Amino acid sequence: QKEVEQNSGPLSVPEGAIASLNCTYSDRGSQSFFWYRQYSGKSPELIMSIYSNGDKEDGRFTAQLNKASQYVSLLIRDSQPSDSATYLCAVENTGGFKTIFGAGTRLFVKA
């Protein structure tokens, strides 16, 4: 059983639209949640972290966390072609020794 699940996509949205990326996790004790972006052939880079229930906004990005539902999402407003990448959801497991990554969702933003 996967511990962090994401829809693999691809998710295709037109330029300027809102892209919504979703992630569920199985470890109820998890306290730290991250979204990484990975361009093709490149390494992942952190774009958002969230630790409390609710929304956290940073520029065009909003992370949403619902611990009761074990659900975390990432919204990208005014999507740009440069946002086209794979988005990895990462969850720190109970005990904090390991971060589990989802398989990622591929996002395509069409110009």
Binding-site member from 45, 55, 57, 78 for other proteins (CB under 8 A): 45
- The DSSP bridge partners found for residue 7 are none
Give rounded-to-5 percent helix, strand, coil for the chain: 5, 55, 45
Nearer to other proteins, 11 or 103 (CB): 103
Tell me: does residue 31 bind other proteins (CB under 8 A): no
- Segment interacting with other proteins (CB under 8 A) among 12-20, 22-30, 69-77, 90-98: 90-98
Binding-site member from 7, 22, 70, 99 for other proteins (CB under 8 A): 99
- Segment interacting with other proteins (CB under 8 A) among 16-24, 37-45, 59-67, 72-80: 37-45
- What is the spatial distance between Cα 104 and Cα 93, in angstroms, rounded to a whole number? 18
Tell me: does residue 92 bind other proteins (CB under 8 A): yes
Sign of the CA dihedral running 35, 57, 74, 40:
negative
Binding-site member from 23, 44, 79, 107 for other proteins (CB under 8 A): 44
Tokens 């962090």, residue located = 4
Cβ count near 56 (within 10 Å): 15
